[in-house]
Amino acid sequence: MNSIILVCWTCGKKLPVKFEGKIDLGIDFAIITNNAGWVGAIDMVHSRTLAFCSEGCRNAAKKKDGTYRKYPRKLKEVQA
């Protein structure tokens, strides 16, 4: 049993997750994220896999053209 801590790319919320097997590819990470009840997204433009705590955070990370931002926006408040 392996464990990781998922961190929302937009708001910084954290969630510890335990899973079987190992992560070889980004799709494995996205599947683990989705199984945990979060939203996993593969960003083909920047070659990465992102974790979001909700659809709202996922939509906030997108630009007008539908691609994900290169860097997350600055947070007004730091969430623990």
pLDDT tens sequence across 5-40: 999 999 999 999 999 989 999 999 999 999 999 999
Instruction: Look up the pTM and report it.
Output: 0.84
Q: Which long-range contacts (CB under 8 A, 24 or more apart) does 53-61 make?
A: 53/8, 53/10, 53/11, 53/13, 53/15, 57/8, 57/9, 57/10, 57/11, 58/10, 60/10, 61/9, 61/10
Average pLDDT score over the chain: 90
* Contact status, residue 19 vs residue 2, Cβ threshold 8 Å: yes
The string of pLDDT tens digits covering residues 35-73 is 999 999 999 999 999 999 999 999 999 999 999 999 887
